[in-house]
Structure 1
Amino acid sequence: MFNEERHFTAPIRWGMVGGGRGSEIGYAHRASAARDRFFQLKAGALDLDAARGREFGSHLGIEPERCYADYQALFAGEAARADGIQAVSIATPNDMHYAISKAALEVGLHVICEKPLTFTSTEAQELVDLAKAKRKLFAVMYGYSGYPMLHQAREMIHQGKLGEIRIVTLQFAHGFHSTAIEEQSAGAKWRMNPAISGPTYVLGDLGTHTYYLMEMLTGLEVDELCCMRQSFISSRAPLEDNAHVMFKFKGGAVGTLWASSVNAGSMHQQKIRVIGEKASLEWWDEYPNQLRYEIQGQPAQILERGLGYLAQGVDGICSRIGGGHPEGFFESWANLYHRFALAIDALEREDHAFLEQLWYPDVQAGLCGVKWLEACVKSADNGAIWVKF
């Protein structure tokens, strides 16, 4: 079970850029960061409209003078205070991730950033190097990776329960954008604008999540990939609303990924299936408390979260409540924020031994995601050719 007694002398003083009124992702960051009392929201630049951001921030309990007009004012103002923020979360559209992250690191802040990390791997590598030079945490919010049953799967794969991995199938394919919803939804509209979203839509918005889960669970490394992508709503071109990717992994395994927002009738359909020589595992985010385990020649097993037959304390991702009670999206995010806090504390104490064994989605994972997107775009835009990764 989860240990809620662990705490710091004082919460980490924390700020946000973006995530203003009506933002689902902004609320997810705030609710998850507050869950275990490791973070306390002290400041923010929450909205492009300064007055609206100040009003919203005050409703969240932020002092009015610490509700800033933009991220530059936030970082300058907080740096001048003895009680200024120590960490910042970035919940803006994609086009601002690089500039805000770089500015935050340069003033000595720990950073938690939404994905995809940047538009280019050159920018992402610069952030990797800067975070290392500044000795600051840089985490990327792959929010699904905190589910306990994924870490159960990871442990079983590493224990050899599946045997040698042969095939991985990945998908994240919802149907909510099967019509031109961007004509009425500002949140959808920016995702389909390459100046703001970057060079991809569903690959960057959806596919990166499941691709990261594959890396986390299996440790497989892509050797080559082949991608084709479509804009079934023609006004979205050149950005795709549907894409298929084939993988050849180092060592001989193969895989596929389907990312789509036009899977009409589907709620989410984020699934990962890992197939080995002896058995297979499958996880579906609409049923996150279950893990399907299939051994060749035996009846399929459904492993349930929170029960004693599971690996205990898998990599520190523990159930927060007993089996049978559902845990979901906010618990996954809170598990990640818990680990971000532990990493920040260890960095401040220079506890390198602890950091070496602590898992969390870090800036290197963000860089890998950007490199993967670049390879997908290169393949698709050149006639679905195979590309070395």
Structure 2
Amino acid sequence: MSDTAVDGDGTTSADTELRPTRVGVVGAGYIGTVVGGEFAEHEDARVVAVVDIDEDALTEAAEELEVDADGRYTDYETMLDAEADGLDAVLIGTPHTLHYEQILAAMEHDLHVLCDKPLTTDLDDARDLVARDAEREEVLMVGYQRHLFQAFVEARDLWAEEGREPKWITAEVCQDWVDRFEGAWRQNADLSGGGYLYDTGSHLLDCVLWSTGLTPEAVSASMDFVDDERRVDGRANVTVRFTNGGTASFSLSGETPCMREHVRMWDEQGAVTMDSKDWEPSEYVEIDETSGEHRPYLDRRNQQSKVDAFLESVRTGTEPVATALDGLRVTAVTEAAYESARGDGSFVAVDPDDVALDRS
């Protein structure tokens, strides 16, 4: 006689471990179709439902993800209720300001969540999600893929060494964002929460905060806004002061013809540099005060995708590579930057409880 437990729906615990993770895709835009497509093609996952308010986009995405007609919805809550026994996780790829309520609803249904960045565009909402996440067994992962890029993993390992701590950081990113997304939701502050800083800039802030492990204490910013209400920035310059006395200068432009990203992190012994173009994983260089520049070999053959990493966390019960706390730290710095830029550019203090890595 088998010792395998039988669940209420007739499946056994062994069945649950072996079956693919059943995913509902929320939002039929870029994230929903691209990352959703990775779920659909993954041997350990299956997309069983898609939801979007745009019926044409819904139909196109559902066909691409091979979701049957009975798994297509135009209302998120309806999908969650109807698929209550058929979902294990959701992918949230909707406009930024919708994330909080959609994550909450998924949590109420005890679902794992992979949410595109940013976690939220409201500081209190981000705090709430961190608190709720700490009480749950299910996974909440934020879509900060640079945590999986070997260049930033190498940098994080270096700065974790005893006696190494960056004091001077410069980071920049640029792309054709203003013209490309004119009239789109990304430039509608009610949906995006801001502008270029809250969109692509969120990745830049995150990769510096995550790879250095530094604690921000104050933020100053200036921005060029593309709207009369000064809610949507097309360019931004942000300075972050850290508790170790170091600073980071972020320069972001959404008005260039192509995408480039450059990050430099220095301490008294040398530096690391990360350079990327056209969204490719970054190249990595270490600079030593005595031996000069060298490029460690980066083995990218087994680099995980966001979907790989998320499914591994779901399967093993381990912490995801990009956590709710990572999301809170980015939101705290971003909100301080907007407050500074919409004021006189003075430094705005960051609550240490929001950005401290030690939550004990």
TM-score (norm 1): 0.79
- Secondary structure of 2:343's partner? coil
**Equivalent of 2:123 in 121, 126, 129:** 121
TM-score (norm 2): 0.85
Q: Answer yes or no: is 1:26 the counterpart of 2:24.
A: no
Distance 2:164 2:330 in 1: 27
Query: Judging changes above 3 Å, is the alpha-carbon distance between structure 1 residues 17 and 382 closer, same or farther for their aligned structure 2 residues?
Result: same
Q: Which shows bigger deviation, 30-39 or 65-74? A: 30-39
- Secondary structure of 1:252's partner? coil
Aligned length, in residue pairs: 332
Q: Answer yes or no: is 1:225 the counterpart of 2:246.
A: no
Corresponding residue for residue 91 of structure 1: 93
Distance 2:57 2:167 in 1: 53
Distance 1:193 1:141 in 2: 21
Residues 289 and 304 of structure 1 are in contact (CA less than 8 Å); yes or no, is this contact kept in structure 2? no
Corresponding residue for residue 293 of structure 1: 286
- Secondary structure of 2:118's partner? coil
Corresponding residue for residue 261 of structure 1: 254
Q: Answer yes or no: is 1:284 the counterpart of 2:268.
A: no
Aligned residue identity for 1:154: R
Query: Judging changes above 3 Å, is the alpha-carbon distance between structure 1 residues 52 and 239 closer, same or farther for their aligned structure 2 residues?
Result: closer
Shift of 1:86: 0.4
Q: Which runs of 5+ in 2 are unaligned?
A: 1-16, 351-360
Shift of 1:152: 1.7
Shift of 1:103: 0.8
Query: Judging changes above 3 Å, is the alpha-carbon distance between structure 1 residues 368 and 163 closer, same or farther for their aligned structure 2 residues?
Result: closer
**Equivalent of 1:241 in 216, 234, 247:** 234
Shift of 1:36: 4.9
Q: Answer yes or no: is 1:141 the counterpart of 2:143.
A: yes
Distance 2:59 2:348 in 1: 47
- Secondary structure of 2:252's partner? strand
**Equivalent of 1:15 in 20, 24, 47:** 24
Q: Answer yes or no: is 1:48 the counterpart of 2:53.
A: yes
Corresponding residue for residue 336 of structure 1: 306
Corresponding residue for residue 316 of structure 1: none
Corresponding residue for residue 102 of structure 1: 104
Q: Answer yes or no: is 1:208 the counterpart of 2:202.
A: yes
Corresponding residue for residue 168 of structure 1: 169
Could you list the per-position Cα deviations for residues 140-178 of structure 1 after superposition, in whole angstroms to 9, with x for gaps in the alignment?
111232112221222122225x8342211111222343x
Distance 2:25 2:312 in 1: 19
Distance 2:260 2:229 in 1: 22
Identity of aligned residues (%): 23
Query: Judging changes above 3 Å, is the alpha-carbon distance between structure 1 residues 114 and 224 closer, same or farther for their aligned structure 2 residues?
Result: same
Could you list the per-position Cα deviations for residues 292-311 of structure 1 after superposition, in whole angstroms to 9, with x for gaps in the alignment?
111124332123322xxxxx
**Equivalent of 1:195 in 190, 196, 218:** 190
Q: CA RMSD in A?
A: 2.2
Q: Which runs of 5+ in 1 are unaligned?
A: 1-7, 307-318, 322-330, 348-354
Distance 1:359 1:114 in 2: 14
Shift of 1:35: 5.8
- Secondary structure of 2:199's partner? helix
Shift of 1:377: 1.3
Distance 1:88 1:163 in 2: 39
Aligned residue identity for 2:137: R
Query: Judging changes above 3 Å, is the alpha-carbon distance between structure 1 residues 52 and 252 closer, same or farther for their aligned structure 2 residues?
Result: closer
Identify the structure with bigger relative contact order (alpha carbons < 8 Å, sequence gap 6+): 1
Aligned residue identity for 1:24: Y
Query: Judging changes above 3 Å, is the alpha-carbon distance between structure 1 residues 170 and 91 closer, same or farther for their aligned structure 2 residues?
Result: same
Shift of 1:235: 5.6
